[in-house]
Amino acid sequence: MPDSVMTLDKLPVGKNARIVAVDWAALVEEEALRLRALGVDVGSKLSVSHRGVFGGADPLALRVGRMTVALRRAHARAMQVAVLENGL
């Protein structure tokens, strides 16, 4: 389903998704390392739980496993996610 793949910053709040590709080159090296250390990596299942206040969408709070991880829209834009329709 190509239409269910989008960049993470476009993922609606509450929808489950899986990261299918990350453009690591678009991120600073330490940030890439930290994201992976926090479990934000290709194959991770996640959902967007909250979005920032001013300007609407920045930063984002993700649910990854049992953790909540905050990141910026700029990071989210580097990630392709596939929406999981039935929460799998």
Partner 1 sequence: MSRWHKAALVGNPNAGKSALFNALTGARQKIANYPGVTVEKRAGRMILPNGAPIELTDLPGSYGLQATSPDEEVTRKVILGELAGEPAPDVLVIVLDASNLEQHLVFAQEVIALGKPTVVALNMIDLAERDGLVLDPKALSNALGVPVIPTVAVRRRGLAELGEAIAQAEGHAGDAPHPRARLDMAERRMEAHSIADGVIISESAKHRLHSRMDDFLLHPWLGPVFLLALLFVVFQAVFAWAAPLQDGLEGFVGLISDGVKAEMATGLLRDFITDGVLAGVGAVVVFLPQIIILFFFILVLEATGYMARAAFLMDRMMAGVGLSGRSFIPLLSSFACAVPGIMATRSITDPKDRLTTILIAPLMTCSARLPVYAVIIAAFIPNRPVGLVGLQGLVLFGLYVFGIVGAMVVALILRRSVTKGAASGFIMEMPKYQLPRLRDLGLGLFQRGWIFLRRAGTIILQVNIVLWLLLNFPQAQKGQDQVDASFAGHIANGLAVALKPIGFNRDIALALIPSMMAREVAVSSLATTYAVAAGDDDTTAHQLSDQLQKHWSLPTALAFLAWFVFAPQCISTIAVTRRETNGWKWPAFMLAYLFALAYVFAGITYWSAIALGF
| Residues contributing to the site for partner 1 (CB under 8 A) | 27-28, 30-31, 33-39, 41, 49-56, 58-59, 61, 63, 65-72, 74-75
* Shortest Å distance, C-beta 17 to partner 1: 17
Query: Nearer Cβ to partner 1, position 3 or 30?
Result: 30
Query: Nearer Cβ to partner 1, position 61 or 82?
Result: 61
Give the residue among 71, 79, 9, 84 at the shortest CA–CA distance from 38. Answer: 71
Virtual torsion, Cα 36, 67, 61, 33, nearest 10 deg: -10
Query: Nearer Cβ to partner 1, position 20 or 33?
Result: 33
Cα gap 58→72, rounded to integer Å: 6
